[in-house]
C-alpha cells in the first residue's frame, strides 16, 4: 500500500513535472526541447529561436507595450485580441461609425486606419550580459549602492553594445537580479487597423464571462505593420509599404483534439512564483481582500448608475472594464491560493530548502533567509496595507482624488524645479484634462468618494491616518467637496489653474477637494512610503539571495523558470479539460452552439449579431467547421499571464491554431502558484477567427493573404 502510494506520487510528480513555466526562447535547448518533443512537438528549439536564420520569434512582436501579436501574412498582417486593440478601435469610433458596436473591416489596403501612438516591437537578438552588468558590484555592501551601480552599468551598456542605428538595446533582469539579458529590438510605429468584429463577438460575455470557462468570445482584431521602402521602421507616411516579415505563421484548420501539444509565445508581464509562504499569506489575508473591498464598492456604485443612465454607461464602460478585470482576478486568485493550499505547499518547500542549505554546508550564506523574510514581511505588513489602500482609494478609483493628486504633484514640482517646470506641467495638464472630463460624472464620483473614503477611515492603519482627517464623516465630506471644489468641472479647474504659480498655488490650497488629497498624500509620503521603501529594499535583496540559493541547491534537471518580466517567453503543454470542483468536469472545447445558449437579445453582454445567427442556422461554416459544428474556444495547460493576451497558440509544427486571451477562474492564482490540475489558458480557436473574417465579414481579401493549411478532402 505504502509502495503504491509512493509510486503514484512519483508518477504524479513526473506527469506534473512537465507542466508550467515560461521559458526564455534562446535557452530552450536541452531540458525544454526534450520535454517539448516528449509532449509531441515536431519542430526544434532552433526553429523557435535562431539568430542566423528566420525563426518563429520573428513573427511574434510585443503589441503596444502590453499585449502580444503575431504576423500571419507576408504583407505584415498581424493578429491580436479585440481587448488589446480596443482603445484603437474606440478612437476611430463615432456615433456615425461605431466600430466598437458594429465592427470594422478594410476591404482594401487604402481603407486601413492609421493609429497615432500604436507600435509593435520585434526581437532581433537575445544575449546574456550578466557579467558585464555586475562589473564592479561585488565589492559593495549597501543594497542601495549596488542598485545604483547596476543601473549605471545598464545605461552605459544599452548605449555601447553593438546594434544597428534603427534598433534599440534593452537589458532586463531575470531571477530577481541573478541574471541580466540583453534584447536587441526593432520598433515599428506605423500600424494600421485592418479589422475588428462587433463587440457582440469580440467582447461576447464581457465582464460576466471574464476569467471564466466555458467561454465563447471571439476576442480578436487585425492590424497591419507598415515600413519604409527598405522595410525599416518609419513614422506614419502614406508612402510607407506593408512590412515584409522574416517569418509569418501558416494557419492550420486541420482540427484539434484533447492532449494535442500546444505552445504559446508571448510577453507575459509579471509573476511572483518564488515568494516565500509569509508573503503569499499576506496577499491572501491582507492585501487582496483590501484591494477587492475598495474596488467592489467603486464598481457597485458605477454599475448602479450605468444601468440607469445610458450616457453614464458610455462614459464609464472602459474604466469599469479595467477596474473590474483585476477586481475579479484577485477574487479568483485568493480563492485558488486557498483551495490549492499554496501556503502549505510553500512551507513544505521551505522546510526542504532549509535541509538542503544544511546539507550543502551553506548556513552562513543562506541559513537566515527564511527568518529574514519572516521578519521583513511582519514589519512591512501595515505599511504594505496602507500603500495598497492609498493607491486603490486615492490614485486609482476615486477620480477627484486621482485628479487632485496631479495638482499635488504640480505643487511639488514647483517646490523642487521652479516656475518654468510649473508652467509647462500646468499647460500640459489643462490640455490633457479635456479627455478626463468628457468621461467624468460628478454624481457617480461623489458616491464613489463617499464609499471609498469611509473604507479609508475604517481600514487605513490608525497610526498613519492624518490627524486633520481622522474625525471626518465620509458622507458630509463628500457633499462638501462636490458642492464647493473647483475640481468637479473642466471650466472650474481651468479657472483654478489660471494665473502665476503663486496665485495658482494659493488658490488650490484653499480648494476643499485639494485639501483632502493633500492631507492624504502628505501623510502617506511622510509616514508610510519611506519606511515601506526601506523594508522593501531589504526584501528585494533577500529575494535575490533566496533565488540564487534555489538555483544553486536544486538539481540540474529542476524546472526553475524566471518570473515573467514582459520579455518574450515560450510556454508549452497540452489541450486539456479540468475538474473545477467536486463532480464537475469541464471539456476543453466550446462551440457556436454555446454562443446561442448564452444569447440574450438586446443584452449588453450576451447579444448576438443577426448575421451570426443566420450563419449558425444555415450551418454555413465552410472549411472551418468540424463535424457540423463551429469551434469557438479551447483551453490548455500553457502557463500564461497578463501580457500574453494576443499570443499565438501553436501546434506541434509551429502552425497557428489559436489566439490566447485569458485564463480559467479556478486557476487565476497561477501568477503566484501554478497548479497543473486547474491552471488553464483560454484561446480563441483560429477556425472561429477565420470563419468570422471570411463568412461573417466577407473579407476574403484578408483570407487570400494567409497561408491556410486545410485537411485533405475525403470523398
Ligand atoms: N481577463 C482578460 C485579461 O486579463 C481579458 C480582459 C478583457 N477585459 C474585460 N473586462 N473583459 O486581460
Ligand atoms: N487577459 C490577459 C491579458 O490581457 C491574459 C491573462 O491574464 O491570462 O494579457
191 Cβ closer than 6 Å to some ligand 1 atom: no
DSSP states of 346-367: HHHHHHHHHHHHHHTT-HHHHT
Q: Per-residue pLDDT tens for 444-472? A: 999 999 999 999 999 999 999 999 999 99
Question: Which residues, 6 or more positions from 323, have their beta carbon under 8 angstroms from its beta carbon?
Answer: 295, 298, 299, 302, 396, 397
Q: What are phi and psi of 106, to 5 degrees?
A: -95, 115
Per annotation, catalytic residue among 58, 73, 82, 83: 83
> Facing residues of 183 across strands?
126, 170
- Are the beta carbons of 537 and 144 closer than 8 angstroms? yes
- Rounded distance from Cα 607 to ligand 2 centre (Å): 23
For residues 67 and 143, give the distance between their C-alpha atoms in angstroms, rounded to a whole number.
33
177 Cβ closer than 6 Å to some ligand 2 atom: no
Categorize the per-residue pLDDT at 713 as very low, low, confident or very high, splitting at 50, 70 and 90.
low
Four-CA torsion 167, 168, 171, 172, nearest 10 degrees: -100
pLDDT at 711: 86
Give the number of the atom of ligand 2 that is nearest the alpha carbon of residue 66.
9
- Locate cell 478626463: which residue? 436
Give the number of the atom of ligand 1 that is nearest the alpha carbon of residue 325.
10
- The number of C-alpha atoms within 13 Å of 704 and in the hemisphere containing its C-beta is 6
Q: What are phi and psi of 591, to 5 degrees?
A: -135, 165
83 is catalytic: yes
DSSP state of 575: B
pLDDT at 10: 43
Q: Which ligand is nearest to the CA of 82?
A: 1
Can you state the angle between helices 369-390 and 288-308, rounded to 10 degrees?
20
Give the number of the atom of ligand 1 that is nearest the alpha carbon of residue 662.
2
Closest CA to 355 of 551, 175, 554: 554
Per annotation, catalytic residue among 199, 252, 645, 647: 645
Q: β-pairing, 221-227 with 251-252?
A: unpaired
Q: Is the Cα dihedral 507, 513, 516, 519 positive or negative?
A: negative
Best residue among 217, 336, 633, 644 to mutate for probing ligand 2's pocket (most ligand atoms within 8 Å of CB) is 644
Residue of the nearest CA to atom 4 in ligand 2?
645
* CATH architecture label of 1-119+189-269+562-715: Beta Barrel (2.40)
Give the number of the atom of ligand 2 that is nearest the alpha carbon of residue 662.
8
pLDDT at 242: 98
pLDDT at 125: 97
210 Cβ closer than 6 Å to some ligand 1 atom: yes
Does 269 have pLDDT greater than 70? Answer: yes
List the Cα angle 211/215/219 in 5-degree steps: 85
243 Cβ closer than 6 Å to some ligand 1 atom: no
Does 6 have pLDDT greater than 50? Answer: no
Q: What is the mean pLDDT of residues 678-686?
A: 97
Q: Per-residue pLDDT tens for 384-425? A: 999 999 999 999 999 999 999 999 999 999 999 999 999 999
645 Cβ closer than 6 Å to some ligand 1 atom: yes
Residue of the nearest CA to atom 4 in ligand 1?
642
680 Cβ closer than 6 Å to some ligand 2 atom: no
Give the number of the atom of ligand 1 that is nearest the alpha carbon of residue 207.
11
For residues 591 and 667, give the distance between their C-alpha atoms in angstroms, rounded to a whole number.
22
- Rounded distance from Cα 231 to ligand 1 centre (Å): 34
Q: Per-residue pLDDT tens for 296-305? A: 999 999 999 9
For residues 460 and 662, give the distance between their C-alpha atoms in angstroms, rounded to a whole number.
33
Q: Per-residue pLDDT tens for 578-597? A: 999 999 999 999 999 999 99
- Are the beta carbons of 491 and 437 closer than 8 angstroms? no
Q: What are phi and psi of 72, to 5 degrees?
A: -125, 15
Residue ranges matching CATH 2.40.10.120 in the chain: 1-119+189-269+562-715
642 Cβ closer than 6 Å to some ligand 1 atom: yes
Categorize the per-residue pLDDT at 204 as very low, low, confident or very high, splitting at 50, 70 and 90.
very high
Report the 10 Å Cβ neighbour count for 244: 13
Does 15 have pLDDT greater than 70? Answer: no
Closest CA to 694 of 613, 612, 617, 634: 612
Q: β-pairing, 104-105 with 241-242?
A: unpaired
Q: Cell numbers at residue 654, please?
A: 509551429
Residue of the nearest CA to atom 6 in ligand 1?
325
- Rounded distance from Cα 662 to ligand 2 centre (Å): 5
Q: List b or e across 547-567, with b for residues whose CB sees 16 or more CB atoms inside 10 angstroms.
A: bbbbeebeeeeeeebbbbbeb
Categorize the per-residue pLDDT at 18 as very low, low, confident or very high, splitting at 50, 70 and 90.
low
Q: What is the mean pLDDT of residues 422-445?
A: 95
Q: What is the mean pLDDT of residues 183-208?
A: 97
- Are the beta carbons of 699 and 693 closer than 8 angstroms? yes
Best residue among 63, 64, 325 to mutate for probing ligand 1's pocket (most ligand atoms within 8 Å of CB) is 325
Amino acid at each position: 500500500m505504502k509502495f503504491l502510494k509512493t509510486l503514484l506520487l512519483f508518477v504524479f510528480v513526473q506527469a506534473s513535472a512537465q507542466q508550467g513555466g515560461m521559458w526564455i526562447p534562446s535557452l530552450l535547448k536541452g531540458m525544454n526541447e526534450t520535454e517539448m518533443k516528449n509532449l509531441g512537438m515536431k519542430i526544434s528549439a532552433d526553429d523557435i529561436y535562431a539568430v542566423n536564420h528566420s525563426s518563429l520569434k520573428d513573427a511574434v512582436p510585443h503589441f503596444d507595450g502590453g499585449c502580444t501579436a503575431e504576423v500571419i501574412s507576408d504583407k505584415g498582417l498581424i493578429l491580436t485580441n479585440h481587448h488589446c486593440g480596443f482603445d484603437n478601435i474606440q478612437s476611430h469610433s463615432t456615433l456615425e461609425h461605431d466600430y466598437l458596436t458594429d465592427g470594422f473591416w478594410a476591404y482594401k489596403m487604402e481603407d486601413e486606419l492609421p493609429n497615432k501612438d500604436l507600435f509593435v516591437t520585434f526581437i532581433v537578438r537575445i544575449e546574456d550580459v550578466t557579467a558585464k552588468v555586475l562589473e564592479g558590484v561585488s565589492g559593495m555592501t549597501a543594497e542601495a549602492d549596488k542598485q545604483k551601480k547596476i543601473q549605471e552599468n545598464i545605461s552605459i551598456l544599452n548605449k555601447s553594445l553593438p546594434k544597428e542605428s534603427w534598433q534599440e538595446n534593452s537589458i532586463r533582469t531575470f531571477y530577481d537580479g541573478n541574471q541580466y539579458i540583453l534584447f536587441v529590438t526593432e520598433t515599428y510605429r506605423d500600424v494600421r487597423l485592418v479589422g475588428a468584429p462587433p463587440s457582440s463577438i469580440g467582447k461576447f460575455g464581457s465582464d460576466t464571462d471574464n476569467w471564466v470557462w466555458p467561454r465563447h468570445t471571439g476576442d480578436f482584431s487585425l492590424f497591419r505593420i507598415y515600413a519604409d521602402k527598405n522595410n525599416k521602421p518609419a513614422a506614419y507616411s502614406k508612402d510607407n509599404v506593408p512590412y515584409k516579415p522574416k517569418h509569418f505563421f501558416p494557419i492550420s484548420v486541420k482540427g484539434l483534439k484533447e492532449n494535442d501539444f500546444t505552445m504559446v509565445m508571448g510577453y507575459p508581464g509579471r509573476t511572483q512564483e518564488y515568494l516565500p509562504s509569509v508573503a503569499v499569506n499576506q496577499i491572501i489575508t491582507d492585501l487582496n481582500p483590501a484591494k477587492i473591498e475598495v474596488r467592489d464598492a467603486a464598481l457597485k456604485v458605477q454599475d448602479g448608475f450605468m444601468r440607469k443612465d445610458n450616457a453614464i454607461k458610455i462614459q464609464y464602460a472602459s474604466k469599469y472594464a479595467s477596474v473590474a478585470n483585476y477586481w475579479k482576478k484577485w477574487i479568483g486568485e485568493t480563492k485558488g491560493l486557498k483551495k490549492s493550499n499554496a501556503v502549505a505547499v510553500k512551507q513544505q518547500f521551505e522546510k526542504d530548502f532549509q535541509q538542503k542549505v544544511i546539507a550543502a554546508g551553506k548556513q552562513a550564506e543562506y541559513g537566515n533567509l527564511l527568518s529574514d523574510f519572516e521578519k521583513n514581511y511582519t514589519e512591512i505588513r501595515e505599511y504594505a496595507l496602507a500603500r495598497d489602500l492609498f493607491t486603490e482609494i486615492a490614485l486609482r478609483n476615486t477620480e477627484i482624488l486621482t485628479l487632485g493628486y496631479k495638482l499635488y504633484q504640480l505643487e511639488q514640482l514647483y517646490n523642487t524645479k521652479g516656475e518654468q517646470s510649473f508652467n509647462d506641467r500646468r499647460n500640459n495638464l489643462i490640455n490633457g484634462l479635456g479627455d478626463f472630463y468628457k468621461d467624468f460624472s460628478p454624481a457617480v464620483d461623489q458616491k464613489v468618494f463617499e464609499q471609498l473614503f469611509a473604507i479609508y477611515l475604517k481600514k487605513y492603519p490608525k497610526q498613519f491616518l492624518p490627524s486633520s482627517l481622522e474625525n471626518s464623516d465620509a458622507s458630509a465630506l463628500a457633499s462638501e467637496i462636490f458642492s464647493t471644489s473647483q475640481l468637479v468641472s473642466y471650466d472650474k479647474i481651468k479657472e483654478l489653474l489660471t494665473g502665476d504659480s503663486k496665485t495658482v498655488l494659493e488658490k488650490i490650497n484653499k480648494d476643499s477637494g485639494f485639501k483632502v488629497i493633500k492631507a492624504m498624500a502628505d501623510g502617506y509620503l511622510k509616514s508610510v512610503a519611506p519606511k515601506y521603501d526601506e523594508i522593501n529594499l531589504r526584501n528585494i535583496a533577500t529575494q535575490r539571495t533566496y533565488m540564487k540559493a534555489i538555483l544553486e541547491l536544486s538539481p540540474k534537471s529542476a524546472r526553475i523558470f524566471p518570473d515573467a518580466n514582459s520579455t518574450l517567453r515560450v510556454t508549452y503543454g497540452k489541450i486539456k479539460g479540468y475538474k473545477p470542483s467536486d463532480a464537475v468536469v469541464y471539456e476543453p472545447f466550446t462551440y457556436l452552439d454555446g454562443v446561442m445558449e448564452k444569447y440574450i437579445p438586446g443584452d449588453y453582454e450576451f447579444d448576438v449579431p443577426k448575421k451570426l445567427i443566420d450563419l449558425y442556422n444555415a450551418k454555413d461554416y465552410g472549411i472551418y467547421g468540424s463535424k457540423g459544428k463551429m469551434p469557438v474556444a479551447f483551453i490548455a495547460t500553457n502557463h500564461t499571464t497578463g501580457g500574453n493576451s494576443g499570443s499565438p497558440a501553436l501546434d506541434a509544427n509551429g502552425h497557428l491554431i489559436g489566439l490566447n486571451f485569458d485564463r480559467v477562474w479556478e486557476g487565476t492564482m497561477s501568477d503566484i502558484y501554478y497548479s497543473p490540475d486547474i491552471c488553464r489558458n483560454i484561446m480563441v480557436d483560429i477556425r472561429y477567427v477565420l470563419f468570422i473574417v471570411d463568412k461573417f465579414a466577407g473579407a476574403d481579401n484578408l483570407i487570400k493573404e494567409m497561408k491556410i493549411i486545410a485537411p485533405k478532402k475525403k470523398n
